[in-house]
Amino acid sequence: MTAEAPPAEVVDKVPEPAPPSGVRAWMSRHPLAAYAVRRFGLYLVELWGALTIAFFFFRLMPGDPIQTLIQSLQQNYIYNQQASAEIIARYRAEFGLDGNIFSQYLVYMKKLILHGDLGPSLISYPTPAQDVILRSLPWTIGLLGISAVLAWILGVVFGAIAGWRRGKLGSRIMTNLSIALSHVPFFFVALILVYVFAYTLGWLPARSAYDSNINPGFSLDFIASLLKYGLLPGLSIVVIGTFSWILSTRMLMVPVLGEDYLVYAEAKGLKPWRILTRYALRNCYLPQITAFGISLGFIFNGNVLVEQLFNYPGLGTTLVTAIQQLDFNTIMGVTDIAIFSVLTAVLLLDLLLPLLDPRVKYWK
């Protein structure tokens, strides 16, 4: 080979610093805002992707909800003739099941995004699916939200203590208990709690969300009843959640304890409690905030089972009822709400992190 013209890619590699355009200049002047915009863009992509996956997943499954509806109408003697093609076509249009799958997709997304409309539900036709879901949403938010946050706080606190006092008997017991129990499914604990407290001891109720003899309202009786009925389902989420947070916090804590700045803090004569809370713990709970967001989807999965086992009137129970009746719009609605809440929670926590942790620099 003789020396010829240099290969094309070498020419391309000549550095050519582009003059900063308006957008770039703005981004470098406002790094935090630029990060927020980028993160929000990623959120939109994720949201769209997840909703699309869910849509096609449900639509490509075999099963015809309209046939099911007609059948259930026939079974209830509301409609005791063979459904005419016209009626079927009308139902199809109403449920958004006419046309090919892509036009169905466009119609569904348009209605969802512009109007927040999930289409009519089947389990309580003709109530729209979003109304059915909104009715059960507060129960799930109350049960899941409180238990998840409580588990996180307890887990981080005890995990930090377990790491701080590592080698001591109490800490070792706690750690080994966490190893054994941290990944046990929620429903498992729920079953055992029901067996012990509701069945054997009869202390606490195992079904429903409140005493049906008490009128729902803002009264002391009702709140007491809510707490009493929510204790077992909540506990099954809190127990397992706490153990898994203990384990992961401890794993973050132990390496921090070897850092030089802790030795320095000790040499300065700071009280151990102050070192733990101001120096060591701060390095552990921040990564745990991100982890909390990521764990929400997993917690929701477990929550579906817990709600169903306790007959708690939340999203999980609605979902299971909807699935038993092949109510597509409600099933998809619950999935969409769950996707939306989890992704939004992760987004908010991510945006919050730079404010809580001055070291976090996402921008480049």
Partner 1 sequence: MRILTAVLRTIRNSPKLAIGLAILLVMVLVAIFSPLIVKGIGGSTDPLELAAYERWLVPGPDHLLGTDQFGRDVLAMVVSALSVSLQIGAIAGLISTVVGVIVAFVAGYKGGWIDGVLSTFTGILLVIPTFPLLIALSAYAKNVSLFQVGVMISIFSWPFAAKTIRAQVLSLRSRPYVDLARVSKARDLEIIATELLPNLLPFIGVGFASSALGAIFGLVGLEVIGLGPGGVIDLGQIIFNAINTGALTLGAWPMFVVPIVLLTLLFAALNMVNIGLEEVYNPRLRGVAGE
- Residue 201 binding partner 1, by CB under 8 A: no
Query: Of the candidates 89, 157, 323, 360, which one interacts with partner 1 according to CB under 8 A?
Result: 323
Q: How many residues bind partner 1 (CB under 8 A)?
A: 53
Q: How far is the CB of 255 from partner 1 (least distance, A)?
A: 8
172 binds partner 1 (CB under 8 A): yes
Taking CB under 8 A as the rule, does residue 148 contact partner 1? Answer: no
Per CB under 8 A, does 250 bind partner 1?
Answer: yes
* Contact criterion met (CB below 8 Å) for 282 and 356: no
CB atoms within 10 A of CB 112: 19
Nearer residue to partner 1 within complex by CB, 58 or 79: 58
Where does this chain touch partner 1 (CB under 8 A) — which range of 124-132, 184-192, 229-237, 277-285? 184-192
How far is 358 from 364, CA to CA, in rounded Å? 15
Residue 128 — φ and ψ, nearest 5°? -65, 150
Q: H-type helices in the chain, by residue range? A: 8-12, 22-29, 31-59, 65-75, 85-94, 101-110, 129-140, 146-164, 169-181, 186-193, 220-257, 260-267, 272-274, 281-310, 315-324, 328-356
CB-based contact 277:242 (threshold 8 Å) = no
Return contacts of 330-333, CB within 8 angstroms, 24+ apart.
330/118, 330/121, 330/122, 330/123, 330/129, 330/132, 330/133, 331/58, 332/54, 332/55, 332/58, 332/118, 332/129, 333/118, 333/121, 333/129, 333/130, 333/132, 333/133
Tell me the C-alpha distance between 119 and 55, whole Å: 13
161 lies in the site for partner 1, by CB under 8 A: no
With binding defined as CB under 8 A, does residue 284 bind partner 1? no
Which part of the chain contacts partner 1 (CB under 8 A), choosing from 237-245, 249-257, 273-281, 351-359?
A: 249-257
Q: Give bridge partners of residue 128 from the DSSP assignment.
A: 120
Neighbours of 13 (CB within 10 A): 8
| Min dist. Cβ of residue 254 to partner 1 (A) | 5
Measured CA to CA in angstroms, residue 242 lies from 155, 175, 246 at distances of: 4, 12, 6
| Residue of 20, 99, 216, 255 interacting with partner 1 (CB under 8 A) | 255
**Nearer Cβ to partner 1, position 20 or 255?**
255
Region from 92-100, 243-251, 267-275, 348-356 binding partner 1, contact rule CB under 8 A? 243-251
Asked whether position 208 contacts partner 1 by CB under 8 A, the answer is no
Toward partner 1, which CB reaches closer, 27 or 51? 51
Q: Which residues pair with 120 in a beta bridge?
A: 128
Cα separation, 330 vs 337, whole angstroms: 10
Closest to partner 1 by CB, 226 or 326: 326
Q: Taken in order 18, 24, 26, 31, is the CA torsion positive or negative?
A: negative
User: Where in 60-119 is the site for partner 1 (CB under 8 A)?
Assistant: 61-63
Among 36, 54, 289, 349, the residue binding partner 1 under the rule CB under 8 A is 54
196 near partner 1, judged by CB under 8 A: no
- Two structure tokens written together for 8: 């094309």
Token pair 């003059």 is found at 19
45 near partner 1, rule: CB under 8 A? yes
Q: Does 204 bind partner 1 (CB under 8 A)?
A: no
> Pick from 304, 312, 314, 350: which binds partner 1 (CB under 8 A)?
304
Residue 241 contacts partner 1 per CB under 8 A: no
Q: Which is it for the CA torsion 216, 218, 223, 226, positive or negative?
A: positive
| Least separation in angstroms between CB 266 and partner 1 | 20
Note the residues at the interface with partner 1 (CB under 8 A).
Answer: 45-46, 49-50, 53-54, 57-58, 61-63, 166, 172, 175-176, 179-180, 183-185, 187-188, 191-192, 195, 199, 247, 250-251, 254-255, 294, 297-298, 300-301, 304-305, 308-309, 319-320, 323-324, 326, 331, 334-335, 338-339, 342-343, 346
